[in-house]
Amino acid sequence: MKVGLIAMSGVRVRNPELAALGVTLPQFVSRGKVIASLPSLGLLTVAGLTPEDCEIEYRELADLPGEKDELERFDLVGISSFTAQIDEAYRLADRYRDAGVPVVLGGLHVSLQPEEAAEHADCVVLNGAEGAWPQVVRDFRASRMRPRYEGLRSGVFEEQAYARPRFDLLEGRAYNRVTVQTSRGCPLDCEFCAASLRITASFQQKPVDKVVAEIRAALAVVERPFFELADDNTFINKKWGKEFLRALRPLGIRWFTETDVSVADDEELLDLLAESGCSQVLIGFENPDAGGLEGLDPHNWKQRRAEGYLRAIDRIQSRGVSVNGCFILGLDSHDPGIFERVRDFVARSGLLEVQVTVQTPFPGTPLYERLRREGRLLTERYWDQCTLFDVTYRPKHMSVAELESGLRWLFSELYNAEEFTQRKRRYMEIVKQRL
């Protein structure tokens, strides 16, 4: 049996003026390009869960033949996609099904919009693949595959459910970045978040030995890769974090992750972070001050931490680990003054990298439900605009046009060549102090 696993990659900004800005601003598109060029950890995990006697082919969208060419033959096809490319994924699924190849759709969007996805698939898999995919394959072989399977929402890293992702499928491909996951979910539960917390019952942490074994497996097939942890919030558990960082130290790798600002609370953790080869942590500050953060998460955790943002950035970066500070524009607290406030905060903070995105009501999130209830979504269905840069709803204290033009202005303020050079110089001076 030959299974084709196809990853949809390459999110594109739809707003033409913003897309054009990407050509001239050096840092604007860099993170997006990185994300688009990462292999699909979800599908490599699906491959790991597939019985050994199945032949597996991993494909990226770019590997596939053109629309008029004949499709590669598989007995079963699995497709995973972000929301922004889901329509492209549906078109591909339809093509395979028209050619007589059964299709399974999975991933975050499919988990949150299963009825929609079911119109383009023989089977949809909800949540993670753990606890579902092995049964899908067994049932397919017995010609009794069901239209819907539900993967586990807890215990995904326990022995009976866990499978190591098949990094060997990347051998010979030109990846210089590899993703590894250490956890799923996040207890902060921010209203806008469309990440793995939507498909987990609670925060799930992978044992350190399993993560290290995965890193070693990736190192065996990809030469000197840069590792990206595909986590929503890696250092929730500081004790686990220290154990993990001590285990990373001897591996000599360089890596990146996403976490929250509390990582800066613990000096020992910060020292270990630097010693373990951590290059950058991405932190969602979302707003430059506490005033604009009320109600963003159910416990106002981010609002309570906002006062310490500048100190936290300084403590992390003083170790030579850069902070990629993320801000969301268009929160309900934002008026047209927010763009200058973000620019001023970034200038004061010494942040070495900045990521500014527009608030995006991804389907299935509490934000989406609220804005829909309030009648503020611009259209009923806008999945291809879920790029994090396209405006899809009516902001509360400014117009759509003000949000779009403010965003463009802020991009040109933050991502121009002069700012980029200044950030580089700032980083070098920090490094020199630590050498």
**Structure tokens of 112?**
């949150």
Contact call for residues 180 and 227 (beta carbons, < 8 A): yes
CB of 203 to other proteins, least distance (A): 29
349-369 as b/e, with b when 16 or more CB fall inside 10 Å?
bbbbbbbbbbbbbbbbbebbe
* Residue 28 or 133 with smaller CB distance to other proteins: 28
| Cβ closest to other proteins, residue 286 vs residue 419 | 419
User: Min. distance of Cβ 226 from other proteins in angstroms?
Assistant: 5
Contact set with other proteins (CB under 8 A): 176, 223-224, 226, 252, 254, 279-280, 320, 322, 421-422, 424-425, 427-429, 431-432, 435
Whichever of 332 and 419 has its CB closer to other proteins, that residue is 419
Q: Is the CB of 153 or the CB of 423 nearer to other proteins?
A: 423
Contact 17, 310 (CB under 8 A): no
**Centroid of chain to Cα 271:** 26
Decide whether 324 or 333 has the Cβ nearer to other proteins: 324
323 backbone dihedrals φ, ψ, rounded to 5°: -105, 125
Residue 220 Cβ, how far from other proteins at the closest point, in Å? Answer: 16
CB of 434 to other proteins, least distance (A): 9
Q: How far apart are CA 213 and CA 181, in angstroms?
A: 12
CB of 353 to other proteins, least distance (A): 9
CB of 425 to other proteins, least distance (A): 5
Q: In this complex, which beta carbon is closest to other proteins, that of residue 216 or of residue 425?
A: 425
Of residues 320 and 336, the one with the C-beta less far from other proteins: 320
Please count the other Cβ atoms lying within 10 Å of the Cβ belonging to residue 67.
9
Whether the CB-CB separation of 18 and 357 falls below 8 Å is answered with no
Residues near 234 by beta carbon (within 8 Å), at least 6 away in sequence: 182, 183, 241, 257, 258, 259
Q: How far apart are CA 172 and CA 82, in angstroms?
A: 25
CA distances in angstroms from 413 to 35, 141, 387, 407, 421, listed in the order given? 23, 57, 21, 10, 13
What's the closest the beta carbon of residue 433 comes to other proteins, in angstroms? Answer: 9
